[in-house]
Amino acid sequence: RQQRSTVDGWRYRIVWRPQPDPENGELAGSWLIVVPADHVEDDLVQAASRGLGDRARIMPVSATADRAELAAQLAALAGTADDPLHVLSLLALDDRDAGGHRGVPGSLLSTLALTQALADTAVKARLWAVTQGAVSTDASARGPETHRVSDPIRHPGQAAIWGLVRVFGLDHRERWGGLIDLPATLDERALRRFLSLLSVDGGSQDEYAIRPSGVHVRRMVRAPLDPSAAAEPWQPRGTVLITGGTGALGAHVARALAADGAEHLVLAGRRGPDAPGASELSAELTALGARVTVAACDVTDRAAVAKLLDSFTDEAPLTAVVHTAGVVGEDRPLVETSLDDAMAAVHAKISGACHLDELLADHPLDAFVLFSSGAGVWGNGGQGPYAAANAALDALAEWRRAQGRPATSLAWGAWAGGGMVDEAVAEQLLRRGVPAMDPGLAVRALREAVDHGETTLVVADIRWDRFLPAYTVSGPRPLLDELPDVRQLLAGQEEQADQAGEKGSDLPDKLAALPEPKRKRMLLDLVRTQASAVLGHSSTDAVRPARAFRELGFDSLTGVELRNRLNAATALTLPATVVFDHPTPTALAEYLRDALLPPEPDAGSAAPVLPELQQVASALQAATDDDTRRALTEGLRDLLAHWEGQAPTPVETVDDELAEASDEDMFDLIDRELGIG
């Protein structure tokens, strides 16, 4: 019962909820319709252009678009506060494979360049990304009754756009409009709904599908296993192919299948028998009663996959495929992701799946299992191409199921013992509230999903109290609106905010009783103390006043945690991004000072020395390198010596402790010399 409860707690699925038709509104601002260069005359492009009228301009973009060129074009069209610029991307229309890489749409690369160009410019444009047939709103499409699929996916490759642009929305909320999937035919009613969504600028939602039945929005919901649901248990037989079979994930699956009576396991990977641990794994599986073949095969190479499939005999025919192969790639913001890196990440994950689907299109199988990731479901900052690949993988499973073929795509969280994530990524996921799952229970979830004919399923251990603050750091995420855990947490946050507002804080009174230098000291101490607690330091020594929070190790999750601590200490309602809007402890302390107490009036001639001292303090705060700090320190020491009638201190005898002094140390020095300490 405990294991059943644990696995049920990991299970989620995506559903689409019907919404009332949006009210017709007047389109504001200027619109730029970005389209593939050879799709300008497409019906969808022309319909969108007519609907937007004289506010719109079409901008053709090649598949190899240069981000700098796109940024220059956007800058030339920069809007104003009264006439903002909106970017409507129809780049998904280009479904052709990029560079001969199966499953990597050219539109993905041009969309990446567009998002980078938007981030590179000062243009405050908002991006709407549009696809056509990239998602399925039919919940029954995820079950075994394929004849009930009324809204099948038609273009699974376009789903990669959803994965990529979703991450852009996480990273650049101020430039985010939303995602809209259109029906196959854009009739007058669908066009009216489409323009209405654009006119209200998305409202409180950001992921839509327009269908003949109306407008639908995307939600993630809990999906515990229904014990009364019909099941056809998967009994491994004949040959089972496991791609990435010698990796950590493939090995876990292989052990479970061997223990359940699999006759022949084929473990395919780039290095084949030369992969680390391959011989030991083979011996272990053989001891469990399975015949084992470790094959060298790069599944992104169609010819190599075809050769491997042709090698299977009729004595042990291929009955199932488990595709675990793929590369996570380095965590990197979209603006720092090269087109080559994006191509490699998507190619490694999706091309092999496409080859297997096509080469086995007419081959009867008991199971066709794809290993996807939660990054493709909700988006992970720093993993744009990886999110794109996994979103496309889920879409491929739905498309395949709609064709009447078996398919199950599992969007995993982290597995214990390595696999989809390395140790560093696993630690990051743990901090973000996604701890690693027990591999044995994860394999159980896999087997149950296949037994019950699931098409797509999320299987992840998510601790919402940790996950939610980071995921919503730049704004609400409607995707999570129906999760009871999230609703409870949000209600608790609102109650705490109300209580803090009623209780208030005595900090402003304490600050008002102090001279200005002491106020800054108190607030800087507050910021450093709370930052040290968040990072797990026993003292404030590691949190240097002029060092950037990102350099100190802060990410979106710890940034929100520091914000929450400062809210509690000050009774302010600080924005979730305050740590990155004011990127050093000194800058954040100054922001808090202005928020808690209005700036004092200029003292004028009554204290003529203070403005000059303020310039000295500002220079010290701005100094981030040792040489500059040392020079300023030496100059200040010589000046103090001159006031006291002493000879200047030689450069080579400057006290090391003073030379390495922090900002607060220098404030102490100034306070003592002026007698205001």
What's the rounded Cα separation, in Å, for the pair 259 and 253? 10
Q: What is the CATH number of the domain that holds 156?
A: 3.40.50.11460
CA-wise closest residue to 635 among 608, 663, 659: 659
Q: Is residue 68 part of a domain?
A: yes
Domain shared by 532 and 648, yes or no: no
* Longest Cα–Cα distance in the chain: 101
Q: Which residues pair with 58 in a beta bridge?
A: 33
Domain shared by 160 and 283, yes or no: no
- Give the confidence band of 77 by pLDDT, cuts at 50, 70, 90: confident
- At residue 241, the 3 state secondary structure works out as strand
Higher pLDDT, 585 or 78: 585
Domain shared by 373 and 240, yes or no: yes
Are residues 41 and 259 in contact, defined by beta-carbon separation less than 8 angstroms? no
Q: What is the pLDDT of residues 233-270, one digit of tens each?
A: 999 999 999 999 999 999 999 999 999 999 999 999 99
- Give the confidence band of 666 by pLDDT, cuts at 50, 70, 90: low
Are residues 460 and 412 in contact, defined by beta-carbon separation less than 8 angstroms? yes
| Position 539 pLDDT exceeds 60 | yes
- Give the confidence band of 146 by pLDDT, cuts at 50, 70, 90: very low
Are residues 151 and 201 in contact, defined by beta-carbon separation less than 8 angstroms? no
Domain shared by 617 and 588, yes or no: no
Q: Is residue 228 part of a domain?
A: no
Say how many domains are in the chain.
4
Helix (H) or strand (E) holding 28: none
Domain shared by 335 and 280, yes or no: yes
In this structure, what are the phi and psi dihedrals at residue 325, rounded to the nearest 5 degrees?
Answer: -65, 150
pLDDT on residue 141: 44
What's the rounded Cα separation, in Å, for the pair 362 and 551? 54
pLDDT on residue 608: 47
Q: Is residue 252 part of a domain?
A: yes
* Token pair belonging to 217: 């929005």
Q: Which residues pair with 14 in a beta bridge?
A: 220
Averaged pLDDT of the chain: 85
Domain shared by 267 and 121, yes or no: no
What's the rounded Cα separation, in Å, for the pair 543 and 537? 9
pLDDT on residue 334: 86
* Token pair belonging to 4: 């059943």
What's the rounded Cα separation, in Å, for the pair 445 and 223? 12
Instruction: Give me the DSSP letters along 426-454.
Output: HHHHHHTT-PPBPHHHHHHHHHHHHHTT-
| Position 645 pLDDT exceeds 60 | no
Helix (H) or strand (E) holding 294: strand 291-296
- At residue 417, the 3 state secondary structure works out as coil
User: Among residues 451, 471, 491, which one ends one of the domains?
Assistant: 471
- Give the confidence band of 502 by pLDDT, cuts at 50, 70, 90: low
Domain shared by 327 and 405, yes or no: yes
pLDDT on residue 650: 45
* Token pair belonging to 142: 């995820």
Q: Is residue 429 part of a domain?
A: yes
| Position 414 pLDDT exceeds 80 | yes
Q: What is the CATH number of the domain that holds 583?
A: 1.10.1200.10
Q: Is residue 489 part of a domain?
A: no
DSSP H helices, 53-158, are 67-76, 106-120
Q: What is the pLDDT of residues 508-529, one digit of tens each?
A: 888 888 888 888 899 999 999 9
User: Among residues 471, 487, 519, which one ends one of the domains?
Assistant: 471
DSSP H helices, 315-422, are 339-346, 352-359, 375-378, 384-402
CA-wise closest residue to 675 among 607, 603, 615, 594: 607
Higher pLDDT, 572 or 4: 4
Domain shared by 572 and 625, yes or no: no
Are residues 161 and 107 in contact, defined by beta-carbon separation less than 8 angstroms? yes
Domain shared by 155 and 243, yes or no: no
Domain shared by 425 and 284, yes or no: yes
Q: Is residue 495 part of a domain?
A: no
Q: Span 180-209, mean pLDDT?
A: 89
The amino acid present at 15, given as its one-letter code, is V
Q: Span 65-71, mean pLDDT?
A: 88
- At residue 121, the 3 state secondary structure works out as coil
Higher pLDDT, 203 or 312: 312
Q: What is the CATH number of the domain that holds 402?
A: 3.40.50.720
Q: Span 44-71, mean pLDDT?
A: 90
pLDDT on residue 139: 60
User: Among residues 574, 596, 618, which one ends one of the domains?
Assistant: 596
Domain shared by 354 and 380, yes or no: yes
Helix (H) or strand (E) holding 322: strand 318-323
Domain shared by 297 and 443, yes or no: yes
| Position 676 pLDDT exceeds 80 | no
Q: Is residue 481 part of a domain?
A: no
pTM score, whole prediction: 0.80
Q: Is residue 297 part of a domain?
A: yes
The amino acid present at 621, given as its one-letter code, is Q
Q: Span 438-450, mean pLDDT?
A: 97
Q: 269: domain range? A: 2-8+234-471
Cα-based distances in Å from 513 to 191, 516, 601, 647: 63, 9, 16, 38
